Amino acid sequence: MKKKHINIPIFIPELACPFQCIYCNQRKISGQLAIPDKQAIIQTIETYLQSVKGSETEVQLAYFGGNFTAIKREEQEDYLQIAEPYIHSGRISGIRISTRPDYINEEILKLLKRYHVKAIELGAQSMDEEVLLASKRGHTAVNTVQASEMIKTFGFSLGLQMMIGLPSDTLEKAIFTAQQIIGLKAENTRIYPTLVIKGTHLEKLYERGEYDPLTQAEAVKWAASLYELFEAAGVRVLKLGLHPSEGLTSGKDLRAGPFHPSFRELVYTTLWKNSLQPLLNQQGSNLILWVAPGQVNHAVGYSGSNKKKLLNNFGRVAFKTELQLTDRNFRFEITEKSEYL
């Protein structure tokens, strides 16, 4: 049986970032203002580990948010050493970090290897040079390719994060980015819609009418198309949409853009809507749908939207689970009998 994987997330917002990308204010995005000290990190680790039961769970300490490999070497080692006793005792299997493509080299990778780092996620954001330049990322797509190849050569698990709806972005460019991520043999990815966060340069562009964010419908459509590409290639999508921090959910930190606290559910709803499309061309008294365990809510759709569409064609619709089914595979029966519903 494949082990369940959990990360113990430690956010170090904007730590050592050499550039201020036009969209970025990580303290507001993550909802975290302070950089945690050693004791705070240990407390977080202990709290998470208390909830882990049995040996069927793989646990990694994950440093997110900042540019980890640009931190002074001594500080990097301080952070990495925190996990050492947990790794030696077997309670934590390794460390995951996120960083920028232009802060990867052999010396850095040797250091990370020595301290049991297993996975490295790069904020690629886009593989289109025009988009990277317009977003003031400070690195090129070539940097991402070179860093990814080096990470794979050293035996690390590679993750490549991307953003959709950045300045100069199009659906075609986003698809190109996804194809490049697949071609670089990333094991996983994260898809983030671009939001206009207060206090960023992107907010100024938005106020001057020089930037239009994606609508929620566009962002969901783009993300669903990308998800299908990654799914077909075996690249796991770890996250869809930003974490719903208090500042984002309340609107306090959000100026504009396709934020939704259940963005992943909206994308899954769209994926299932596409799968169920052939049934919308049929009619009958009753429809019974069998789906995989764990897929019922996604198939029914956010706020029941997929079921409501089906009810336009059928008198009654019932969703049931079947162990033999996986992913978005399903079987159905159109029947006049109601006793099975």
What per-residue confidence (pLDDT) applies to 30?
A: 46
- Classify 77 in phi/psi space as left (phi over 0), alpha (psi -120 to 50) or beta: alpha
Smallest Cα–Cα separation from 58: which of 106, 2, 127? 2
In three-state secondary structure terms, 326 is coil
SS3 percent helix, strand, coil of the chain, rounded to 5, is 40, 25, 35
What per-residue confidence (pLDDT) applies to 4?
A: 80
- What CATH architecture applies to the domain 4-261? Alpha-Beta Barrel (3.20)
Quote the pTM value: 0.90
What per-residue confidence (pLDDT) applies to 244?
A: 73
Exposed e or buried b per residue across 100-110, where buried means at least 16 C-beta atoms within 10 angstroms of its C-beta: bbbbbeeebbe
In three-state secondary structure terms, 10 is strand
Distance CA(276)–CA(328), nearest Å, equals 9
Residue 63 forms beta bridges with which residues?
10, 97
Can you give the residue ranges of every domain in the chain? 4-261, 277-335
Give me the average pLDDT of each 10-residue run along the chain (341 residues). Answer: 81 64 64 75 94 80 89 93 95 95 96 97 97 94 98 98 97 98 98 94 95 97 98 97 78 91 97 95 92 97 97 95 96 80 59
